[in-house]
Amino acid sequence: MSQIELRPYNTKDENDAQEIVDIAKEYYQKSPWPPTKEKVMAGGVHYFRAFYQNKQIGITGYYLKTPTLAETVKTTVFKEFQGQKLGSILSQAIEDECKRIGIKKIISTVYYFNHVMVQIKLKQGYTIEGYHPDHEAPGYHEYSLGKILK
Ligand SMILES: CC(C)(COP(=O)(O)OP(=O)(O)OC[C@H]1O[C@@H](n2cnc3c(N)ncnc32)[C@H](O)[C@@H]1OP(=O)(O)O)[C@@H](O)C(=O)NCCC(=O)NCCS
């Protein structure tokens, strides 16, 4: 049982959507395509606030690519909580949530320079299924990592 509690955002709510956009702006400054409020509110991605010992320590999310395949997104630990293994615990928490709803395979795309997240996923049993040069935009190479859930 994960020590992290995931509480769903209401992405139809403007304030919730804006909070997600603000966090993404702060923590994904290198992303060429940060989410907009309109995009978040359009739905499709299930976002969660992540709580540890009753404090919000970050966010995470997933969207369904098929009824049994989910891609996790925006797994983020706020700066003041980084380096304490919470990233690993949070990655496991979103995996557990996907498993709970019947997902059979989970994937994640990670920038090639994000060694911390690649390390977290490999340690949790993901394998590198692809390397995508110039993927999101020219210069934005990504790995795709996947794990079959048993
Ligand atoms: C990625 C992120 C969630 C990690 O959170 P965190 O709480 O600091 O991570 P952890 O403390 O769980 O550390 C994870 C592992 O990375 C390792 N690590 C730390 N720096 C590293 C580096 N430069 N290279 C490789 N591994 C590194 C740690 O030693 C730890 O490994 P271990 O469990 O084998 O000891 C956090 O840095 C973050 O929110 N970054 C911004 C958003 C982001 O990039 N999210 C991922 C999107 S795909």
Residue 71 belongs to what domain range? 4-148
- What whole-number distance in Å separates Cα of residue 42 and Cα of residue 58? 22
**C-alpha of residue 85 to centroid of ligand 1, in Å:** 8
Number of domains the chain is built from:
1
Pocket of ligand 1 (CB under 6 A): 27, 75-77, 82-88, 110, 114-117, 119-120, 123
Q: Per-residue pLDDT for 10 more than 70?
A: yes
Of 88, 28, 77, 72, nearest to 55 by C-alpha is 77
Amino acid identity of residue 130, one-letter, is: G
For the entire predicted model, the pTM comes to 0.95
Quick one: pLDDT band at residue 15, thresholds 50, 70, 90? very high
With cut-offs at 50, 70 and 90, classify the pLDDT of residue 17. Answer: very high
Could you identify the residue written with the tokens 């009753």? 54
Alpha-carbon distance of 94 to 61, in angstroms, equals 7
pLDDT digits (tens, 9 = 90+) for 112-145: 999 999 999 999 999 999 999 999 999 999 999 9
DSSP label at 59? E
- The CATH number that applies at residue 50 is 3.40.630.30
Type of residue found at 52: Y
